[in-house]
Structure 1
Amino acid sequence: MAPRPDIEIHCLDQQKDDLGVNESIGPAHSTVALIEGESEQDPWDLPELLDTGEKWSELNTKAKILRVVTSVGKIILLVGFLYMFVCSLDILSSAFQLVGGKVAGDIFQENEVLSNPLAGLVIGMLVTLLVQSSSTSSSIVVMLKLWQVQTAVPIIMGTNIGTSITNTIVAMTQAGDRSMFRRAFAGATVHDFFNWLSVLVLLPLEVATGYMYRFTELLIKAFDIRSGNAPALLKVITDPLTHSIIELDKTVISGIATGDPEVKNKSLIKIWCKTFTNTTLMNVTVPGVENCTSPSFCWTDGEFTWTLKNISQTINIKKCSHIFVDTNLSDMVVGLILLASSLLVLCLCLILIVKLLNSMLKGQVALVIKKIINTDFPFPFGWVTGYIAIIVGAGMTFVVQSSSVFTSAITPLVGFGIISIERAYPLSLGSNIGTTTTAILAAMASPSETLGSSLQIALVHLVFNMSGIILWYPIPFMRFPIQLAKALGNKTAKYRWFAVVYILAFFFIIPFLVFGLSVAGWPVLAGIGVPIIVLITFVTVVNVLQCHCPQWLLPCLRTWDFLPLCAHSLKPWDHVISVITAHVCCCCKCCKISEENKEKENKKDQPHEMNSVVILKSEAKTETK
């Protein structure tokens, strides 16, 4: 059976529709400093960067000095904005911990719920969203000594997903330009899709076989690991500023997670930065003999039972110097203040960084950077380039000690067309490895009693990311995250509101739904989840066959036209959102116009009142005359 030509045209038109191409107008292009060439065939081709500036040889001495001074000034400003960006991320993490840190600790305390792998996955993800730090979530997991490491594996997978939301939000800052937003959002979400696909494959495999737990357990037993110190690196630079604003006592969250009653009502805000703990052996009274330290250190004197017990007394030596050290505000209020201010600084820094990069990455500089980053090694060693990018991403993440910072830094470059999606993908994979090496070194600084479990959890994180890379990178056909990110980029470029829907759905609505179903029990989860998964799989397969092999489908399934338009297209929803937006803007405009009219009427009434007064006065004068 030959394929129907109308179906092929439908697929082609649908692709054009997804790409935002209008045959009469043409694709949207960036008109900022980066000049894009025409790419009607493939919008994912990197834009042609034209050297529009004057050549160095054509400048006089004064112009050369001015260009050097301007370039140095821009570099200094860029470094300063990057520093403020990193510090604002740190403050944002502290703010989220103040707002939701105790809730996160209470969640981790529910051991019965976390024994469900899906619930553990979702909780790891949601807690990472709350505290905005996968390392904090991992440290909480390490502190729960009553847990088996095998129970913590799904939580580690969840923290891997939760930490990827930052660069997705960063991509929203380039929503003003359609072409830049297409590339930036795809460059950010390629990291998301890698994490989601890895979890979909590796979580069932881990539940069935426990290979990650068993493999890391063999590694711990095979190597004689001793406790060490984790490197500070970027923290040495950022801590002076962030610690002058806020310092947190992170042992409070860990204490809540372990069920310590003494820290239940304790504030997360650190007051004393330098303390001394003095432990002395003292005689204390206990309710009964069973509460004695040991039978040999227990005696009865009349109605009292005495025993020898070590009593620890903490002596405060030096107070912290941050601005909230003497505040009377609650943790929630301080957290909301820091949340609003850090988000403001974060967005401002991102906008200024994008503006600076836009002015700096043009001309010969942009051409050189683009050529260096995107050029492959000559045949037959072209395949080596991607693995070198993975190593570079891991090294850079290890230096900055945050995968969010690194991936957020390369997202604007992807939007500008300096880095391709195909090159940003291995850089993000390397970032995933880099953040696990930092966690391994941090785990080696753990106390001896928790060293084995904390190091094994860090190694589980590493094995999980390595397994995902083996699945989704070496074979070019299996690089599904790139294809999915491009499809989402096309959709969000045309319907930009869909980017907000994606973030809310994948990072909040779906996780909460899965968590609720998993808490309800396996029968409820299977009864509702399995039909949904079967439906999604069916729709995906039919969509692929409609565009590639329509002759394999039944005639009624070769298009989705038999369904209502709102069930297979975003155009009706786009119309609804446009109408709502127009009404909101109209209401605001009408309110503004009505206020202006009232002011004008008041101004008009005032002269009339004055005239009436003048008339009355004149009449009074004539009467007196």
Structure 2
Amino acid sequence: MNNVCNIGGDIFVHAKCDTKSNLFDFAWRVVELLRPYVKAFSDVYGFSYHGNRDLSGFVDGTENPKDEEIEEVAVDKNTGGSYCLTQRWIHNLTFIASASTKRMENIIGRTRNFNLELKNKSAFSHLARMTSGAEYKSKKPFQIYRQSLPYGTISDEAGLFFIAFANSTINFDYMLDRLVGNKGDGLFDHLMLFSRCVSSNYWYFPMIKKLRDIYRHRWIYAMMDIILILSLLYFFVCSLDLLSKSFTLIGARIIKDIFCNNTILQSALAKVMVGLLGTAVLQSSGVSTSIVVSMVASGAIDVKSAIPIIMGVNVGTSVTSTLISLVRTNNSNAFGKTFAAATVHDMFNLVTVLILLPVEMLSSNLLHYDYLFFSLFIIFIIKLNTTALEESIASPNSSIANNAELVKRNCPLEEDLNLVSISESFDLSKKEIVYRPCNHLFAYVQWTDTGIGTVLLVMSLMSVIGCLFGLVGLLNAIFRGSLAPSIRRVVSVKCPGCLSFLTGYLVILFGAVITALLQSSSAFISAMLPLVSIGILDLEKMYELTLGSNVGTTITAIFAAFSQTGKKSSAAVQIALCHLFFNLSGIFLFYIVPFMRNLPIGMARKLGKTAVKYPWFPFWYLAFTFSIFPGGILLLGMTGEVFQTILGVVILLSFLLILLINVMQTACPDYMPPVLRNWNFLPLWMHSLEPMDRLIRSRFGSSAAQRCIDKTPSNDTRIVISTVGSGKDDSSPSITDNTVSDSSTASVSLTF
């Protein structure tokens, strides 16, 4: 803004009042109305100084237009609205008091006592800078209408709160250019010798009629917003599904080969890492679990060996939401909350695996649950005629093992749903199936699976990011508006009376049902992240939705299990149920037991704070958790099952020991030996990210993420309210049907 500082803002309220007490009451009511939506504000009160003079003693607003000229100067004829410029100037009172009258008059260009224009005024004077130049003299298009008052105290700071209206922002640009010397003549306004601008903002005031029309038709805009949100959400979910399919086309065969590689899968820990890596590559736990179910059905692996892979699949499915959370990096506070909400899924899955994997390896706990549950329904499952379901769910050419390419060229005439399967047990030689050319975008494109997958990847990523930004923008506009209190009440509603403890379980059930309908936990959790970003959902509520989503996503594996045929079909159902019982066991451990909820939630909240402090951390976390660590474990696993078992025990014991020490350091430090009351006895790099942060900054400078966070205005609402009182002795008329008001004896400016 012409080298004049700009603090930004969202709303500017200009009101008039007869007395300062009424002015104060009005400002107070406005602040209380907006308090739920803002975090801080400042108020600056103006006053009339010897009539209409500035603190420097000179008359303010001498060149203001009069009577009918006001509307011509301040109102845009095309829109009926007014553009407004607000500035806060701090005067150097010591300079004003010590400078001679002659010097001050030369600076202003007028006499102090009688307000007469100097005949031989300096080219640097305020009057010469504001009323000279070819642009100003050409039919006077660059005039403004001022509404300014002094403010402040002698003990703190004092100056002028400048308010001006015009029919175009060009008028303000001209004034500011002349003020700071941007017109090419090298001259600047000597007013800046004793006053400096500390804030400056542009605003627009629409016609009152326009505002009334907007209010009258607000339900139309609300319906349009809802339709647009639902449309964006639809395309967002579709884009995530395309993202999953693109990774499937690129890496499904590789993942299948890894799942069947007995050299790699020598220990339970390696199987967990394979499941994690496979799901991270495919971007779909549904595809991964369907592959595992089909492997069990075909006899490639047994149920006990498949359980650790399913655990790893459960951990890997959260990579999508973690990736999506990185999109919102333009505000540190919102980014921290979003990253914590995304990683609470990771933390729950990780701590559940750390507890259940050793238990499963020692006691086959999940397998015993399956036998108990399975025995109740075994008769129905054996006698169930799955032919119709198989034909409607599993297409004949969906087997990764039997087809030369994954992209379907010919489709059966009757087809509803296609699940990926690697089973080689299909015998279709006796079936007569009528095929027709498939009707999809790549049916007639002679590209490889990898080529088509790459194109889909680029398309889906662009669509996901675009839809996410659109959703966040619309949700911000709606949830921070007049609907915000109602929406927050709905979100925070609890079951009545003694049934309030059931609220969380209903939220879990809601997450499970929606995820089962969407057939994608990643899509559901990713769609919830914008609500966390803008403060509608808190981390605790997001945790409950995540638990429900984990249960809902197991429906995919159960459907895949029922589509299998052959002797091992019952085993396929068992492994699908293992997926379900794994998540139910995690809910029992880390939700039904109340104090245990603090573990995954606290870990996620810590990750969010770390992401705010170190902007590079989320990228490192993503790479380490879903690539470097599992890949390293698999490489080390080449040494044999014994080594991997020892490594797994060391990792588990280290995690439990560190967790115990951290809890005791917080809860009961007096019972700890002095050396263990903090981690300072260790080298700094072992308990702090500061050394790595210094290394990264010294190598790359300030990261791109940090620059983005530092330079982008906060999403916290900043609202500027200027309330201007009107003196009864003032002769300047107000402009009809517009927000420009007459001058006043008092004003207040509040910044939120």
Q: TM-score, normalised by structure 2?
A: 0.59
Provide the residue aligned with 1:431 in structure 2. 549
In 1, the alpha carbon distance for the partners of 2:518 and 2:336 equals: 27
Contact 2:249 2:449 survives alignment (8 Å): yes
- The one-letter code of the counterpart of 1:356 is L
> In the alignment, does 2:498 pair up with 1:380?
yes
Provide the residue aligned with 1:466 in structure 2. 584
Contact 1:183 1:415 survives alignment (8 Å): yes
In 1, the alpha carbon distance for the partners of 2:633 and 2:304 equals: 21
Say which SS state the counterpart of residue 459 (structure 1) adopts: helix
CA shift in 2, pair 1:199/1:168, >3 Å: same
CA shift in 2, pair 1:123/1:230, >3 Å: farther
Provide the residue aligned with 1:141 in structure 2. 292
Provide the residue aligned with 1:325 in structure 2. 443
CA shift in 2, pair 1:217/1:491, >3 Å: same
CA shift in 2, pair 1:490/1:274, >3 Å: same
Question: How far did 1:317 drift?
Answer: 3.6
Provide the residue aligned with 1:35 in structure 2. 37
In 2, the alpha carbon distance for the partners of 1:377 and 1:397 equals: 23
In 1, the alpha carbon distance for the partners of 2:456 and 2:564 equals: 30
Contact 1:194 1:468 survives alignment (8 Å): yes
Provide the residue aligned with 2:215 in structure 1. 64
> In the alignment, does 2:620 pair up with 1:501?
yes
Say which SS state the counterpart of residue 318 (structure 1) adopts: strand
Q: Among residues 347, 350, 363, which one is paired with 1:196 in the alignment?
A: 350
In 2, the alpha carbon distance for the partners of 1:549 and 1:584 equals: 38
> Percent same amino acid at aligned positions?
37
In 1, the alpha carbon distance for the partners of 2:685 and 2:221 equals: 53
> In the alignment, does 2:243 pair up with 1:92?
yes
Alignment of 1:12-27 (within 5 A): none
Provide the residue aligned with 1:443 in structure 2. 561
Provide the residue aligned with 2:455 in structure 1. 337
Say which SS state the counterpart of residue 310 (structure 2) adopts: helix
In 1, the alpha carbon distance for the partners of 2:489 and 2:560 equals: 37
In 1, the alpha carbon distance for the partners of 2:671 and 2:551 equals: 42
Contact 2:267 2:644 survives alignment (8 Å): no
In 1, the alpha carbon distance for the partners of 2:413 and 2:391 equals: 22
Q: Among residues 571, 575, 589, which one is paired with 1:453 in the alignment?
A: 571
Say which SS state the counterpart of residue 436 (structure 2) adopts: strand
Contact 2:519 2:555 survives alignment (8 Å): no
Say which SS state the counterpart of residue 492 (structure 1) adopts: helix
Provide the residue aligned with 1:552 in structure 2. 671
CA shift in 2, pair 1:583/1:186, >3 Å: closer
Contact 2:328 2:334 survives alignment (8 Å): yes
> In the alignment, does 2:316 pair up with 1:162?
yes
Structure having the higher helix fraction is 1
Question: How far did 1:230 drift?
Answer: 6.6
Provide the residue aligned with 1:492 in structure 2. 611
Question: How far did 1:520 drift?
Answer: 1.9
> In the alignment, does 2:398 pair up with 1:251?
yes
Question: How far did 1:557 drift?
Answer: 3.9
User: What per-residue deviation string (whole Å, max 9, x for no partner) do you get for residues 555-581 of structure 1?
Assistant: 444444454433332233223323333
Question: How far did 1:524 drift?
Answer: 2.5
Question: Which deviates further from its counterpart, 455-464 or 58-67?
Answer: 58-67
Provide the residue aligned with 1:132 in structure 2. 283
Question: How far did 1:364 drift?
Answer: 3.3
Say which SS state the counterpart of residue 329 (structure 1) adopts: coil
Question: How far did 1:513 drift?
Answer: 1.8
- The one-letter code of the counterpart of 2:356 is L
- The one-letter code of the counterpart of 2:638 is V
Question: How far did 1:451 drift?
Answer: 3.5
> In the alignment, does 2:348 pair up with 1:348?
no
Question: How far did 1:469 drift?
Answer: 0.5
Question: How far did 1:332 drift?
Answer: 1.7
Provide the residue aligned with 1:598 in structure 2. none
Contact 2:293 2:557 survives alignment (8 Å): no
Provide the residue aligned with 1:568 in structure 2. 687
In 2, the alpha carbon distance for the partners of 1:89 and 1:444 equals: 25
Say which SS state the counterpart of residue 392 (structure 1) adopts: helix
In 2, the alpha carbon distance for the partners of 1:270 and 1:151 equals: 31
Question: How far did 1:461 drift?
Answer: 0.9
- The size of the alignment, in residue pairs, is 488
In 1, the alpha carbon distance for the partners of 2:656 and 2:460 equals: 41
CA shift in 2, pair 1:177/1:220, >3 Å: same
> In the alignment, does 2:273 pair up with 1:273?
no
5+ unaligned residues in a row in structure 2: which ranges? 1-8, 12-33, 42-208, 415-426, 705-752
- The one-letter code of the counterpart of 2:450 is M
Contact 1:124 1:158 survives alignment (8 Å): yes
> In the alignment, does 2:326 pair up with 1:172?
yes
In 1, the alpha carbon distance for the partners of 2:479 and 2:523 equals: 20
- The one-letter code of the counterpart of 2:461 is L
> In the alignment, does 2:341 pair up with 1:187?
yes
User: What per-residue deviation string (whole Å, max 9, x for no partner) do you get for residues 164-211 of structure 1?
Assistant: 111112221222111111211111111111111111111111111112
Provide the residue aligned with 1:46 in structure 2. none
CA shift in 2, pair 1:82/1:269, >3 Å: same
Say which SS state the counterpart of residue 321 (structure 1) adopts: coil
CA shift in 2, pair 1:140/1:561, >3 Å: closer
Say which SS state the counterpart of residue 87 (structure 1) adopts: helix
Say which SS state the counterpart of residue 273 (structure 1) adopts: strand
Question: How far did 1:348 drift?
Answer: 1.2
User: What per-residue deviation string (whole Å, max 9, x for no partner) do you get for residues 567-605 of structure 1?
Assistant: 3322332233233333898xxxxxxxxxxxxxxxxxxxx
5+ unaligned residues in a row in structure 1: which ranges? 1-29, 40-57, 236-246, 256-261, 277-308, 586-625
- The one-letter code of the counterpart of 1:133 is S
- The one-letter code of the counterpart of 1:63 is I
Q: TM-score, normalised by structure 1?
A: 0.71
Question: Which deviates further from its counterpart, 373-382 or 398-407?
Answer: 373-382
- The one-letter code of the counterpart of 1:251 is S
- The one-letter code of the counterpart of 1:573 is M
Provide the residue aligned with 1:523 in structure 2. 642
CA shift in 2, pair 1:80/1:563, >3 Å: same
Contact 1:414 1:420 survives alignment (8 Å): yes
Contact 1:175 1:181 survives alignment (8 Å): yes
Contact 2:293 2:576 survives alignment (8 Å): no
In 2, the alpha carbon distance for the partners of 1:445 and 1:401 equals: 16
In 1, the alpha carbon distance for the partners of 2:533 and 2:573 equals: 37
Larger radius of gyration: 2
Say which SS state the counterpart of residue 445 (structure 2) adopts: coil
- The one-letter code of the counterpart of 1:421 is L
Q: Among residues 510, 513, 518, which one is paired with 1:392 in the alignment?
A: 510
Provide the residue aligned with 1:73 in structure 2. 224
Say which SS state the counterpart of residue 473 (structure 1) adopts: helix
In 1, the alpha carbon distance for the partners of 2:242 and 2:518 equals: 16
Question: How far did 1:326 drift?
Answer: 2.6
Q: Among residues 99, 106, 111, which one is paired with 2:257 in the alignment?
A: 106
Question: How far did 1:530 drift?
Answer: 4.7
Say which SS state the counterpart of residue 441 (structure 2) adopts: coil
CA shift in 2, pair 1:163/1:218, >3 Å: same
CA shift in 2, pair 1:520/1:458, >3 Å: same
Provide the residue aligned with 2:631 in structure 1. 512
User: What per-residue deviation string (whole Å, max 9, x for no partner) do you get for residues 270-298 of structure 1?
Assistant: 1111379xxxxxxxxxxxxxxxxxxxxxx
Question: How far did 1:152 drift?
Answer: 1.1
Alignment of 1:212-231 (within 5 A): 212-223=366-377, 224-225=380-381, 226-227=384-385
Say which SS state the counterpart of residue 383 (structure 1) adopts: helix
Say which SS state the counterpart of residue 443 (structure 2) adopts: coil
- The one-letter code of the counterpart of 1:217 is Y
